[in-house]
Amino acid sequence: MDQDDTPATKKLKVSHDQEPNFQPLFASYNDKIRPMLDAHRLNFKEGIPIPLPTVVVIGDKSSGKSSVLESLAGISLPRCTRVPLVIKLQHHPDHVPEFSLEFQKKTVMIIEESQIPEAINSATVEIAGNSKGISNVPITLVVKKNGVPDLTMIDLPGITWVPVDDQPKNIYDQITEIIMEHITPKENIILNVLSAEVNFTTCESIRLSRRVDRTGQRTLAAVTKSDQYADDLLEKVTTNAVNISYVCVRNRIGNETYDEARIQEANLFKSHHSLSMIDKSRVGIPVLAQKLVQTHDVIISKCLPNIVNEIKEKLDEWMSRMSGSLKETLEKLLIHGEVVGLPDKHKSCDARLAKMVDEFKIELHAEDESFENFLVDEMRVLKESGGIRLSQFVPEYAFSYLLRQKVSKISDLPISFVNKVWSYVESVSFEVLKDHCESFPQLYSPMKKASQKALEKIKNKFLQRAMDMIEMEKNTNYTCDPNFLASWKELKSANYDKLSDAVVRRRSKWIAINGYGDVKVDHLFDVPANIREQAFDLKMKMVAYWAVVLRRMVDWSALNLRYWIQKFVTEMGISVFTDMMLPGCGIEKMMEGPRSVAEKRDIFR
């Protein structure tokens, strides 16, 4: 006798420290279907409404629908189905399973598997009442277990012809409407559960199935109670006038475990005088599971091009929106300095960049000047550049040589500045990108690579500009700043008499040079006055011009920083969108899934 005719079975309790013992449907699915769908599960946190196959279980009342579903999934279920019961199986990396029930915008957590039937019954009463009435409001049982397939199965109320108790007179119409709603989608698999005693060709669930699946390509039939009505079962399943694949099964009885039930089922179809004559490809829950997976595989294969196209269209749309949003956010952060509506961790980026410019300015002005060897370099250059010329004229070469030396000493600072600010721009960009990829986390890695390419491209151009600036300062001494001449003359007039007096009178080894600092002068006591004067003039000219150079470098760095950030923001949006849409990248790359999945797919092929 099938479990359908027995009292409620003993509830099962999961041992969390045991290895999962996969039921027939799980094992077949894990080998064949999972490699085709893992990419979808792994790549998209935000659901994309694509039509993946669902197994819809239909049949007459008390035909054993819930028992067949229970045998396939290995989950204890109540016997009387009065509302659509949606069972969502989801692979769970943790070996401790999680169960929850969702209905009417509520979620109820279930601690132990043995509590599932009671929780479903309570939810059914809340939805459909204490009577025998039905409802089309679904209950969703979410089962997260290590190793189970990502698969959805739906148990629908059994077909009832005659209303009982307080059931409405149109109970048949109500149930038929629910069934048709679920079996009409072309991607759904229809699993008819038939009692062996009925006439298969006139069975109502078969008739409903043929209305939406004339070829029978997505319809299967599980025949229950085979042991009770075995005499003419062989003829029924082999005649097959309606072109549907039949599988005869034996459900659990009493307190049998799932493994015990499978052993008893195998023995029944092996030893029974009549049932043993049925071909082994038509008997047993494992065979039914394999046929379901094969049908699932065929439907997936047919739907896969459309599924990929739908995902790609969704991705293209999202990528277009995301590129614009990413550009807008980076402009607000890095260029306009806006903070309204942005996360705290992204605020004050513009202020941070301005602080880096100020730090660069301080570093430039912190040049290690020699205050003890005042005018030594100038006198050495004047001596080396001596020639047949008027003695009072300082050769241009002397000034240019000293300028190149000073620029060379600080030439690493602009390069360090570019590296420093670009490292910060990179970190902010990746943070913003990560925020924008929250809905599609699997896109973050390829988009980050595209962003890195844009960052590297613009950074190299920025660095080249910095090196060009250094070379320009070395090669040309020019300014149109009128303050340069005024500052040069003021430095000479305010300080030379003081220097001359200190050297001639030899009163002090140190003097204060306005606009420069305290300098040691005792080494100038014996230097001829004309050499000392030319060297001092050259020094003050350099002090005045060097202030212009440093201001120019700071201004140039700030302007170029803004310019190249703007270039990067534009380039990043283009690079990310273009690279993700290239053949072999983006959606195509993502659909490959992990290497382990690809290996399984190769074996399957």
Q: What is the mean pLDDT of the chain?
A: 81
Same domain, 236 and 354: no
Tokens of 514: 């306005």
- Indicate whether 4 belongs to any domain: no
- Residue 431 forms beta bridges with which residues? none
Q: Kindly report, residue by residue over 566-576, the tens digit of the pLDDT.
A: 999 988 877 77
- Determine the pLDDT at residue 347: 59
Pairing of strands 151-155, 54-59: parallel
Mean pLDDT of 145-172: 82
Same domain, 308 and 350: no
- Residue 191 forms beta bridges with which residues? 57, 220
Query: Residue 211 carries which side chain, given as an amino acid letter?
Result: R
Question: Are the beta carbons of 71 and 258 closer than 8 angstroms?
Answer: yes
Q: Which domain holds residue 258?
A: 22-313
Same domain, 93 and 234: yes
336 vs 20: which has the higher pLDDT? 336
Longest dimension (CA), the chain: 136
pLDDT of 180 higher than 50: yes
- Indicate whether 593 belongs to any domain: yes
220 vs 46: which has the higher pLDDT? 220
Residue 356: pLDDT band by 50, 70, 90 thresholds? very high
Angle 185-190-195 (CA atoms, 0-180°, nearest 5)? 150
Mean pLDDT of 153-179: 87
**Boundary of a domain, candidates 298, 313, 328:** 313
Tokens of 94: 């943790």
Residue 344: pLDDT band by 50, 70, 90 thresholds? low
Same domain, 291 and 422: no
Percentage with pLDDT > 90 across the chain: 37
Distance (Å, whole) CA 501 – CA 20: 98
Residue 348 CB-density burial (10 A; 0-12 exposed, 13-18 middle, 19+ buried): middle
- Indicate whether 143 belongs to any domain: yes
Say which CATH number the domain at 277 has.
3.40.50.300
- Indicate whether 1 belongs to any domain: no
- Determine the pLDDT at residue 241: 66
pLDDT of 181 higher than 90: yes
- Determine the pLDDT at residue 290: 85
Q: Kindly report, residue by residue over 527-545, the tens digit of the pLDDT.
A: 999 899 999 999 999 999 9
How many domains does the chain contain in total?
Answer: 2
Distance (Å, whole) CA 57 – CA 69: 8
Question: Are the beta carbons of 528 and 328 closer than 8 angstroms?
Answer: no
Same domain, 428 and 530: yes
- Determine the pLDDT at residue 342: 52
Say which CATH number the domain at 502 has.
1.20.120.1240
Question: Are the beta carbons of 247 and 284 closer than 8 angstroms?
Answer: yes
Question: Are the beta carbons of 173 and 121 closer than 8 angstroms?
Answer: no
Query: How far apart, in Å, are the Cα atoms of 70 and each of 209, 262, 304, 550?
Result: 22, 13, 29, 80
Pairing of strands 219-224, 98-103: unpaired
Same domain, 216 and 250: yes
Question: Are the beta carbons of 71 and 252 closer than 8 angstroms?
Answer: yes
- Determine the pLDDT at residue 26: 47
Mean pLDDT of 490-518: 90
How many Cβ atoms sit within 10 Å of the Cβ of residue 111? 9
Same domain, 384 and 282: no
pLDDT of 166 higher than 50: yes
Question: Are the beta carbons of 174 and 59 closer than 8 angstroms?
Answer: no
Same domain, 495 and 569: yes
**Boundary of a domain, candidates 297, 313, 329:** 313
- Indicate whether 205 belongs to any domain: yes
Lowest mean pLDDT among 48-52, 250-254, 375-379: 48-52
pLDDT of 1 higher than 50: no
DSSP letter string, 273-319: TTGGGS-GGGBSHHHHHHHHHHHHHHHHHHHHHHHHHHHHHHHHHHH
Q: Kindly report, residue by residue over 92-146, the tens digit of the pLDDT.
A: 778 888 899 999 989 999 988 889 899 999 999 999 888 888 889 999 999 888 7
pLDDT of 361 higher than 90: yes
- Indicate whether 3 belongs to any domain: no
Q: Kindly report, residue by residue over 63-93, the tens digit of the pLDDT.
A: 888 888 888 877 888 878 889 999 988 777 7
- Determine the pLDDT at residue 363: 93
Mean pLDDT of 435-464: 86
Lowest mean pLDDT among 35-44, 328-337, 505-514: 35-44
- Determine the pLDDT at residue 550: 96
- Determine the pLDDT at residue 419: 96
Predicted TM-score of the model (pTM): 0.56
**Boundary of a domain, candidates 313, 328, 345:** 313
Q: Kindly report, residue by residue over 205-235, the tens digit of the pLDDT.
A: 989 999 999 888 889 999 998 888 888 888 8
How many Cβ atoms sit within 10 Å of the Cβ of residue 94? 10
Residue 586: pLDDT band by 50, 70, 90 thresholds? low
Edge-to-edge strand ranges of the sheet holding 245-248: 106-110, 98-103, 139-145, 85-91, 151-155, 54-59, 189-195, 219-224, 245-248
Question: Are the beta carbons of 144 and 92 closer than 8 angstroms?
Answer: yes
Residue 456: pLDDT band by 50, 70, 90 thresholds? very high
Residue 405: pLDDT band by 50, 70, 90 thresholds? very high
pLDDT of 179 higher than 80: yes
486 vs 5: which has the higher pLDDT? 486
Same domain, 347 and 302: no
Same domain, 275 and 384: no
Question: Are the beta carbons of 165 and 31 closer than 8 angstroms?
Answer: no
Same domain, 546 and 401: yes
Same domain, 375 and 477: yes
